[in-house]
Amino acid sequence: MHFPALPAIAYRGGKKTMKKLMAVAFVVSALCLFHIVAASAAPRVSKYDYVIFGAYEQDNNLKNGKEPIEWLVLDVDEDDDKVLLLSRYALENKLYHNTKEAVCWATCDLRAWLNSEFLNAAFSSE
């Protein structure tokens, strides 16, 4: 699973603009990230259902392990057997990109982190 590329976003603002851009970028990345293929044996879900999928450290207590991730079903595409999910709670706080430069989604640091570190930490092949 890899995250789709989006058009380039040029940075032209101050700190407040950057914070808004990062917040929007995280939401966009979450929406892109969780456009996943549903397993054929998985139970059917409906729009606005909550589902559990994957696990990620959310309470900062490493002793009790990762917590299950709750997802809100935003859309169901039964023709392609896909669902669009958004995590119920913010899972992480990351910059869209670590340097102030014009960068597109395909090459930003957030997408690289989602495709590697987050993907490997939250999901397994099972």
Confidence grade of residue 79 (pLDDT, cut at 50, 70, 90): confident
Phi/psi of residue 24, nearest 5 degrees: -65, -40
Measured distance CA(36)–CA(85) in Å, rounded: 8
Look at residues 91, 111, 87, 80 and name the one whose alpha carbon lies nearest to residue 4. 111
User: Over the stretch 19-51, which tens digit does the pLDDT of each residue have?
Assistant: 555 554 555 445 444 444 444 445 688 999 999
User: Over the stretch 82-106, which tens digit does the pLDDT of each residue have?
Assistant: 999 999 999 999 999 999 999 999 9
- Whole-prediction pTM: 0.65
Beta bridge partners of 70: 52
Q: What pLDDT score does 81 carry?
A: 85
Q: How many other CB atoms are there within 10 angstroms of residue 123's CB atom? A: 15
